[in-house]
Structure 1
Amino acid sequence: MELVFVLTLVACIVATGGLLAATPWLMRKDECFAVTVPEGARRDPRLVAFRRRYAAVVAAVTAASVAGFCAALAVFPGVFGSELGLVALVTLPTFAPVAVSFALMLHFRRRVQAVKRAEGWSAPRAQAVAVVAEDDLPRALPLAWNLLYVPVVLGTVALGVALWPSIPDMVPMHADFAGNVNRWEPKSVGSVFFPVLVQLFMIACLVFCHWSILRSKRPASPGAPVTSALAYGLFARAESVLLLVSGLIITVALGVSFMLSAVGAITLGGAAVVIVVAVAPILVGSVAISVVYGQAGSRLFRRMEDAGAAGPGAVMPADDDAHWKLGIFYVNRDDASLFVPERFGIGWTLNLGRPGAWAVIAGFVAVTALFLVLVFVAVG
């Protein structure tokens, strides 16, 4: 259990830090550190140097985080018996690359903005893009695919009903990171079918993420509208497939492993190992899609488009820097889109200029609060 946890955490730190370090190369070629630039400016020596410095520092911090975490475990081997101590131990190496990445992004964002002003890169007028026969382009999986979660939940319920007579009067509910059970609950519908509640909450979050991909604004390049739209469609489909497959793997692993631990077929620590191992293909898939497709299909677009990018001094088709606060928060009341692709990172974000975005945030908080109340009622 301890070894699996350590290896998984190290893999997560390395994967996260690696993706963060590679982020400047995974973005659209008309964006550099969340700043709109001409497509040809991507090869500007100054911007290239910014990307290399950023990557070198993030990679160094990631390596230091892994080394520091392993060294701390060697010095404090008994930390697995203390949840508070272990949480404190893993917090710094887990979030250090993220925090450093954000700080560096803001630093180089200011540097790129200074270069942009000095070179006079501007977009005198925004250009709208319309793609003919858009319905024929690839897109994210239809929302109906999420019906695959129904047999997962029903299967978990059926397994719990079938195993009910064999479940002891006291059900193991929690174990420390060494695999030792430290909390038991009397056998009841709430304690035995607790994983179903967790599954339903996870499924609600996953379905919402899937829906947000379908409703997101579709970026397209005025110079190559069909090619860029095709690249984005392929990216959205790949992300929706990964989301669905990841959700199915985790919910199945959660339901089956917990039910088997309740009956004593495996330990609760063993159930945790099953869930941790289930994360591995998800982590690999996420990294693979990010590297192969790039943000919003940018890497596919660069491979599919014709050679001969515009020069650094070319006029930009659009410039919405003013709507991106700190490079990551999109606020545009004139944009009807509720979701838009991120400016620095892989995925999507909310348009905080729309009232619906705040309704989504409030809804998420309400659903999470409801979930916590139900958990307390079920096993409290």
Structure 2
Amino acid sequence: MASMMLMMMLLLPVTGVLMAVTPFLQRRGEVFAVTVPSSAQRDPYLRSLKRRYALIMGAVTAVLTAAGVAAALAMNEAAIMVVLLVGTLGLLLGGYALMLRYRAKTKAYKREQGWEAQVQETVAVVGEADAPRAIALSWNLLYVPVILVTVAIAVVGYPHMPDMIPMHASFDGTVNRWEPKGPMVVAFPVLMQLFLAACMVFSHWTILKSKKWAEPGAPATSALAYGLFARAQSVFLLVSGLLLTGGLGILFELSSMELVSLGQAAFFVMLLAMPIVVGSLVIGVVYGQAGSRVFKRMQGSDALLADDDEHWKFGIFYVNPDDLAFVLPERFGVGWTFNYARPVTWVIVVGGFLVTVAFIVAVSVLV
């Protein structure tokens, strides 16, 4: 199963490359989570900071990827897990720490240049109803037939399943955990599907509820770009969710019926995950955060038309009690985040954490 190990190692370079290119994907008026004039994207000093960030993250990614590939070729399962977990966590935390360092440099440079917003300009986009937007939430009804097919396979195949169901296999495909045949064991993949589908539907809902991005210097064009970005992300989220829920559920049921081995099922799930992982990188590079790369020739402004740096704590946490929106585009990254000054945000965060813990506990007890 060396091929499956090597596929798992692809998570490292994809994560690292996404982190490395993140500064180049942000909106025109933001550099390392600092508000600057949109024309400052061409500033030599700021561009040099971005290049340095990318080079450092790229070098770290190359080293970690080489270590992961070596562990995979050596078939060392323990080393693979260490490199994968520690490496991915190191890239995320290290990338964030490096961002904070360059954020401080950018803030100091901003003060030196005297970039200050004399007024806080806001925009309202006329004709927003005609602008592209995320696909409707009703598209998530497609999860229903996927789950029903899994249930049908489980019902039809239950009499033909062995008394002991394989539940876990090592990287070489050797099954090392079984559970007695029973309704809950067979229903386990359906429960996983329901949980994953719920997470995907919630993510889709947050896109629809998000505060729309419109740049004061180019309101109509940036609103159109954001709409295209939101639509692409919502379609990608739906397709990814259907692939994962369908693949996990159906393949697990087929392995329980011994039509495929558990190792083969895991291999096919990894195959399904690869286009999802790579696709997230491609969408980020093509569209940029909030559609910032859709129209690269949007007119830039030398003036700072709006500045909300004070509301972004540590560059990524938005805290603004005067903003009624509780979901908005991220400041550093590709996607969306919450307004942590809104009570509903904490209801969602705490509620989601409790539901996740309850699901894990329930599955571990029932299965």
Q: Flag whether TM exceeds 0.5 (same fold).
A: yes
Equivalence map 1:193-204=2 (5 Å)? 193-204=187-198
2:319 corresponds in structure 1 to 331
Amino acid at match of 1:190: M
Q: Deviations over 1:30-66 (max 9, x none)?
A: 0000000001111111101101111110000000111
Does 2:288 correspond to 1:294?
Answer: yes
Does the CA contact (< 8 Å) of 1:65 and 1:96 recur in 2? no
Does the CA contact (< 8 Å) of 1:54 and 1:104 recur in 2? yes
Does the CA contact (< 8 Å) of 1:5 and 1:276 recur in 2? no
What CA distance in whole angstroms lies between the structure 2 residues aligned with 1:329 and 1:365? 18
1:310 corresponds in structure 2 to 301
Does 2:76 correspond to 1:79?
Answer: yes
2:24 corresponds in structure 1 to 25
Amino acid at match of 1:338: F
2:343 corresponds in structure 1 to 355
2:104 corresponds in structure 1 to 110
Does 2:92 correspond to 1:98?
Answer: yes
Does 2:39 correspond to 1:40?
Answer: yes
Equivalence map 1:159-308=2 (5 Å)? 159-303=153-297, 305-306=298-299
What CA distance in whole angstroms lies between the structure 1 residues aligned with 2:204 and 2:21? 25
Amino acid at match of 1:310: S
What CA distance in whole angstroms lies between the structure 2 residues aligned with 1:376 and 1:91? 22
What CA distance in whole angstroms lies between the structure 2 residues aligned with 1:324 and 1:204? 29
Q: Deviations over 1:271-303 (max 9, x none)?
A: 111111001111222111111100000001324
Query: Compared with structure 1, are the counterparts of its residues 73 and 247 closer, same or farther at alpha carbon in structure 2 (3 Å cutoff)?
Result: closer
Quote the offset at 1:221 in angstroms: 1.1
Within the candidate set 110, 118, 125, 2:119 is matched to: 125
1:370 corresponds in structure 2 to 358
Amino acid at match of 1:327: G
What CA distance in whole angstroms lies between the structure 2 residues aligned with 1:109 and 1:172? 50
What CA distance in whole angstroms lies between the structure 2 residues aligned with 1:100 and 1:45? 25
Amino acid at match of 2:241: G
Does the CA contact (< 8 Å) of 2:72 and 2:80 recur in 1? no
What CA distance in whole angstroms lies between the structure 2 residues aligned with 1:107 and 1:178? 42
Amino acid at match of 2:356: T
Q: Deviations over 1:296-342 (max 9, x none)?
A: 00001324x35xx333xx2x111111111111111111111111111
1:65 corresponds in structure 2 to 64
Quote the offset at 1:78 in angstroms: 5.5
TM-score of the pair, normalised by structure 2: 0.97
Quote the offset at 1:101 in angstroms: 1.2
Amino acid at match of 1:343: R
Structure 2 counterpart SS, 1:283: helix
1:344 corresponds in structure 2 to 332
Amino acid at match of 1:148: L
What CA distance in whole angstroms lies between the structure 1 residues aligned with 2:357 and 2:92? 27
2:14 corresponds in structure 1 to 15
Structure 1 counterpart SS, 2:213: coil
Task: Name structure 2 gaps, 5 residues minimum.
Answer: none
Structure 1 counterpart SS, 2:76: helix
Structure 2 counterpart SS, 1:300: coil
Which is further off, 282-291 or 153-162? 282-291
What CA distance in whole angstroms lies between the structure 2 residues aligned with 1:332 and 1:348? 15
Amino acid at match of 2:147: V
Quote the offset at 1:110 in angstroms: 0.4
What CA distance in whole angstroms lies between the structure 2 residues aligned with 1:252 and 1:67? 33
Quote the offset at 1:97 in angstroms: 2.2
Structure 2 counterpart SS, 1:183: strand
1:2 corresponds in structure 2 to 2
Does the CA contact (< 8 Å) of 2:289 and 2:334 recur in 1? yes
Task: Name structure 1 gaps, 5 residues minimum.
Answer: none
Quote the offset at 1:10 in angstroms: 2.7
Which aligned segments of 4 or more residues in structure 1 are displaced greater than 3 angstroms?
71-74
What CA distance in whole angstroms lies between the structure 2 residues aligned with 1:296 and 1:36? 15
Does the CA contact (< 8 Å) of 1:170 and 1:186 recur in 2? yes
Quote the offset at 1:86 in angstroms: 4.4
Question: How many residue pairs are counted as aligned between the two chains?
Answer: 367
Structural RMSD (CA): 1.4
- Percent of counterpart pairs with the same letter? 52
